[in-house]
């Protein structure tokens, strides 16, 4: 697939999706539009029934997705089996490897798990971002000639490739709006500086993914585009006014939430105009509850960015969960973090009712995407 990168971005995406589906991009987008779930009542009933049979340890495990390499050797598989059978994790984030080994890993996890786990990965320019045997596509900034119809088809094609590899959650798209000069840490990963276009592309790609039975997760709320610094290394700061954040940076997330899409990742970002304490967004009840849940009325899953990143050093998994996150990604020490949350539930510091609410929401989406 590498030679295809020599042709234009629009031509590349059109050729790939049309060739794989047997339809034109326009026909495919019109015929494959996702419809609201007809299974809400069933999904909620199923989630309630499963939660009622879980131990505290099993429920807490559902909130965690540790990172693992996409390898299927004996040592790697034993480590994954430990995560599933001993500490009951709810899913995994796949790191570098191959799609073939990811499939072996995913199939094994399915056999070992009581509840099907989420298998997620970053694929901002295709599965080739993590898998050496998968195709890569242009970064978002280079998709200037791609419209929403083709972006939908692109998302659907990525979903097809993901399901073949055993992946059911894409940690994307990047919904961050960058400055007009395209600078900053996010840079080429963004669809650009026009909030309306970023929103259009974010929604179209996400709908394409979800029409292909793969969950999407827009990132990085409340908007990493103009933040100073690299959140992999330290907490990044957004120095915009509240009004500018609502009007520009949050617009793609507002549109995403309004479409009823599934997941939003909260970044390791300090936004003093939203939360005067300056704490990172992943640990801020104000940013998650007042803005993401309240202002944007988002009903889906809230995920943290990787807690192993330098920008997450101001808190831990329990802090993120208390602030309102549903799922914590890639903690540095998953067992220790899970143990701390279990102890907090048992002591009443983190109410079991709050734990149950998060697990029900996670299970609802697993059912919605036929993962139950």
Cα separation of 352 and 360, whole Å? 12
Cα separation of 152 and 136, whole Å? 17
Write down the pLDDT at residue 22: 38
**What sign for the dihedral angle of Cα 220, 61, 339, 85?**
negative
Write down the pLDDT at residue 232: 85
How many angstroms separate the Cα of 182 from the Cα of each of 71, 133, 228, 261, 295?
36, 31, 13, 27, 27
Write down the pLDDT at residue 18: 42
Cα separation of 176 and 207, whole Å? 17
Cα separation of 8 and 52, whole Å? 53
Cα separation of 171 and 306, whole Å? 11
Structure token pair of residue 46: 């199923």
Phi-psi region of 169 (alpha: psi -120 to 50; beta: other; left: phi over 0): beta
The secondary structure of residue 305, as a DSSP letter, is P
Are 115 and 62 within 8 A, CB to CB? Answer: yes
Question: Which of 301, 282, 335, 268 shows the shortest CA–CA distance to 83?
Answer: 335
What crossing angle do the helices spanning 195-211 and 251-258 adopt, rounded to 10°?
30
The helix/strand/coil state of 97 is strand
Residue 237 CA from chain centroid, whole number? 22
Which residues are part of the catalytic machinery?
A: 232, 305
Write down the pLDDT at residue 39: 67
pLDDT tens over the chain, length 372 residues: 222 222 234 443 434 444 444 333 334 433 344 344 456 888 889 999 999 999 999 999 999 999 999 999 999 999 999 999 999 999 999 999 999 999 999 999 999 999 989 999 999 999 999 999 999 999 999 998 999 999 999 999 999 999 999 999 999 999 999 999 877 889 999 999 999 999 999 999 999 999 999 999 999 999 999 987 778 888 999 999 999 999 999 999 999 999 999 999 999 999 999 999 999 999 999 999 999 999 999 999 999 999 999 999 889 999 999 999 999 999 999 999 999 999 999 999 999 999 999 999 999 999 988 764
Write down the pLDDT at residue 38: 53
The secondary structure of residue 291, as a DSSP letter, is I
Cα separation of 96 and 182, whole Å? 28
What crossing angle do the helices spanning 9-21 and 148-164 adopt, rounded to 10°?
60
The C-alpha R_g of the chain, in whole angstroms, comes to: 19
Residue 261: CA count within 13 A, CB half-sphere: 35
Q: 2-368 maps to which CATH number?
A: 3.20.20.300
Write down the pLDDT at residue 370: 77
């Amino acid at each position: 697939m590498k030679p295809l990168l020599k042709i234009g971005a629009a031509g590349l995406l059109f050729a790939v999706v049309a060739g794989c589906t047997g339809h034109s991009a326009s026909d495919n987008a019109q015929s494959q539009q996702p419809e609201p779930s007809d299974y809400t009542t069933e999904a909620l009933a199923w989630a309630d029934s499963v939660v009622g049979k879980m131990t505290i340890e099993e429920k807490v495990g559902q909130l965690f997705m540790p990172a693992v390499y996409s390898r299927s050797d004996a040592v790697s598989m034993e480590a994954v089996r430990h995560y599933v059978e001993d500490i009951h994790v709810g899913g995994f984030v796949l790191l570098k490897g191959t799609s073939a080994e990811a499939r072996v890993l995913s199939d094994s996890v399915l056999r070992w798990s009581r509840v099907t786990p989420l298998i997620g990965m970053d694929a901002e320019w295709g599965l080739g971002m993590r898998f050496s045997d998968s195709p890569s596509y242009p970064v978002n900034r280079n998709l200037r000639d791609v419209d929403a119809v083709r972006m939908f088809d692109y998302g659907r094609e990525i979903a097809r490739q993901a399901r073949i590899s055993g992946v059911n959650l894409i940690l994307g798209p990047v919904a961050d709006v960058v400055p007009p000069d395209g600078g900053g840490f996010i840079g080429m990963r963004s669809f650009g500086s026009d909030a309306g276009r970023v929103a259009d592309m974010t929604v179209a790609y996400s709908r394409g993914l979800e029409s292909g039975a793969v969950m999407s997760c827009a990132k990085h709320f409340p908007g990493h585009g103009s933040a100073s610094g690299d959140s992999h290394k330290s907490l990044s700061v957004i120095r915009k006014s509240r009004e500018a954040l609502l009007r520009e940076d949050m617009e793609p997330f507002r549109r995403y939430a309004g479409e009823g899409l599934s997941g939003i990742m909260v970044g390791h970002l300090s936004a003093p105009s939203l939360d005067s304490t300056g704490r990172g967004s992943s640990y801020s009840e104000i940013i998650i509850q007042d803005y993401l849940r309240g202002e944007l009325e988002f009903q889906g899953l809230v995920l943290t960015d990787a807690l192993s990143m330098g920008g997450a050093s101001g808190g831990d998994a329990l802090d993120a969960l208390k602030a309102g996150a549903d799922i914590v990604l890639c903690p540095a020490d998953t067992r220790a973090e899970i143990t701390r949350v279990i102890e907090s539930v048992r002591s009443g510091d983190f109410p079991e009712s709050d734990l149950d609410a998060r697990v029900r929401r996670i299970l609802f989406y697993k059912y919605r995407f036929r993962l139950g």
